[in-house]
Amino acid sequence: MDRLEEGLRKTFRCGKTKEVGWRKAQLRGVLKFVEENESKIFEALKQDLGKHPVEAYRDEIGVVKKSAENCLNNIEKWMNPKKGKLPLLLFPSKGEVLPEPLGTVLIFGSWNFPISLALDPLIGALSAGNTVVVKPSELAPACSSLLYSTIPLYLDAEAIKIVEGGSDVAEQLLERRWDKIFFTGSPRVGRIIMSAAAKHLTPVTLELGGKCPVILDSFSGSDFKVAVNRIAGGKWGPCAGQACIGIDYVLVQQKSASILVELLKNCIKRYYGDNVKNLQSICRIVNKQHFERVCNLLEDPGVAASIVYGGSFDRENLMIEPTILLDPPLDAQIMTEEIFGPLLPIITLDKIEESIDFINEKPKPLAIYAFTKNDKLKKQILQETSSGSVTFNDAIIQFICDALPFGGVGQSGFGRYHGKFSFDTFSHEKAVLHRSFFLELEPRYPPWNDFKLEFIRLAYSFNYIGLLLHLLGLRTPNRSR
């Protein structure tokens, strides 16, 4: 561990990672990695999660490609200093903000998107000029192993290291000093990471989760069907519900509940099939521990009684059927904890506006999804709820919009990335003020007297005319006290 950190710091100190040429070469390396190993990546994801190649492309390979290309296209622009406008008072002077790398950073990947949640932050760290350690999740061992064995063939092994292992390795890593830690995972582990970081004053970005709700307003026609398609896709599409921005539960008006359930059932049958032993195009649960955890959510009799579709499982293959529940008890675990699985509770309300209070009673989630055509409701949702992000009339897709910061608030985390936000998150923005020796202002210096004080008062009000008059002795000071 010592040698690992020391080696990376030495590489950073030699300065090569700051060069734009080096950074671009690494970004191209990441692109080549995903392009040349597409089938190996598909294979590893199938092994770890039963992820279908199309899902794998959409959520993992495609995301990484898009991020890397976006960085390559913009990196010179991002690396340029930002000019600051300075007031006349400081003339002649120039101010600018220079992004610089933080140094040596640590990234923890997650098991549900083991390729993209390791490589996407890595892309950010590299574009900002850092040296990096990536620790992929041990719960996705095939992907972890693929990254470990193959990334060094594409990236500068003196600057980027993949470290495999479980919580013991994570603990050892956390004892070292890093210039930044980027973590994707649960709030419980987030606290552990942040406490460890505190010892070294290491800044952290925590991408956590939460119960991401859908507010489904009532409207008729084919648009409602489109909404339900998107809800179904947003629940079971990403990793069978095991996603931080995955839909957790739906809030809908009582009168639309039954049509919602019917349409969802149709989606499920169309997309995934209706035999738990032969489900298509949907991931399995990652491991036995999470499988039992999710099944246990259905143990509560009140919860079991609310199942209106699904509920069966295939323990041998770690498959849980897409399950719909209608109004389970609100104090049951399924409604108090992040589900992170293919169970979809539907909560009915008299009026859809009640969804706002309902959501506000829970911790701030990573995303809120609202399907509505009502502008007033949209405005209310935006102003009266708080979440990492809000998406209207769709779900999950905000993840690939690079112009939007991706991150949480409150219990769903802090810090953000994607697009330029990734570059910024792994940078220090250094303010630089340039002055010349020309034009000295005597009143800056002691010994102090009333003339100088008045000068300073006028200066701070940017009262240039008053200043001029004062300097020429043509002004009587304003004594307002």
Task: Please state whether beta strands 323-326 and 307-309 pair in parallel, antiparallel, or not at all (unpaired).
Answer: antiparallel
Three-state SS string over 338-367 comes to CCCCCEEEEEEECCCCHHHHHHHCCCCCCE
Q: Clarify whether 207 is annotated catalytic.
A: yes
Residues 133-162 that bind another protein (CB under 8 A): none
Mask 364-403, x = binds another protein (CB under 8 A)?
------------------xxx-xxxxxxxxx--xx-xxxx
Residue 56 or 332 with smaller CB distance to another protein = 56
Work out whether 477 is an interface residue with another protein (CB under 8 A). no
- 242-271 residues near another protein, rule: CB under 8 A: 267, 270-271
Write the interaction track for another protein spanning residues 13-52; mark x where CB under 8 A is met and - where it is not: x----x---------------------------------x
Give whichever of 270 and 315 is closer to another protein, judged by the CB atom.
270
Residue 188 beta carbon to another protein: minimum distance, rounded to whole angstroms: 10
Question: In sequence order, what are the residues at sequence separation of 6 or more whose Cβ sits closer than 8 angstroms to the Cβ of residue 384?
Answer: 356, 360
CB of 303 to another protein, least distance (A): 27
Q: Decide: residue 310, CB within 10 A, 0-12 exposed, 13-18 middle, 19+ buried.
A: buried
Report whether 470 contacts 454 (CB < 8 A): yes
Strand-pairing partners, residue 252, are 216, 348
Rounded to a whole number of angstroms, the minimum distance from the CB of residue 241 to another protein is 14
The interface mask with another protein, positions 280-319, x = CB under 8 A, is: xxx-------------------------------------
Q: Which residue, 321 or 402, is less far from another protein as judged by CB?
A: 402
Binding segment for another protein (CB under 8 A), chosen from 20-28, 193-201, 209-217, 295-303, is 193-201
Residue among 220, 436, 474, 476 that touches another protein (CB under 8 A): 436
Angle at 166 between CA 162 and CA 170, to 5 degrees: 70
Site for another protein in 342-361 (CB under 8 A): none
User: Beta strands of 14-155 (E only): which ranges?
Assistant: 82-84, 93-101, 104-108, 131-135
Between the alpha carbon of residue 356 and those of residues 108, 317, 327, 330, 385, the distances in Å are 34, 39, 17, 16, 7
Which one of the listed residues 5, 55, 60, 207 is annotated catalytic? 207
Q: What is the DSSP letter of 86?
A: -
The answer to whether 43 is a known catalytic residue is no
305 versus 453: smaller Cβ distance to another protein: 453
Q: Does 11 bind another protein (CB under 8 A)?
A: no
Helix/strand/coil percentages in the chain, nearest 5: 50, 15, 35
Nearer to another protein, 69 or 327 (CB): 69
The neighbour count for residue 390, using CB atoms within 10 Å, is 16
Cβ distance to another protein smaller for residue 203 or 329:
203
Q: Please tell me whether residue 215 adopts helix, strand or coil conformation.
A: strand
Q: Catalytic residue, from 239, 244, 267, 283: name it.
A: 244
User: Look-up: residue for tokens 């460890």?
Assistant: 196
Q: Which of 20, 88, 431, 468 binds another protein (CB under 8 A)?
A: 431
Which residues face 324 on adjacent strands?
309, 344
Q: Compute how many residues bind another protein; rule: CB under 8 A.
A: 105
Q: Which is nearer to another protein, 83 or 277 (CB)?
A: 83
Tokens 């899902």 correspond to 55
At 414, which helix (H) or strand (E)?
strand 413-414
Q: Which is nearer to another protein, 190 or 311 (CB)?
A: 190
42-101 positions binding another protein, by CB under 8 A: 52-55, 57-58, 62-63, 65-66, 69, 84-87, 90, 93, 95, 97-98, 100
For 425, phi then psi, to 5°, come to -65, -25
For residues 24 and 134, give the distance between their C-alpha atoms in angstroms, rounded to a whole number.
Answer: 19
The 452-471 contact track toward another protein, x by CB under 8 A, reads: xx--xx--x-----------
List residues with catalytic annotation: 207, 244
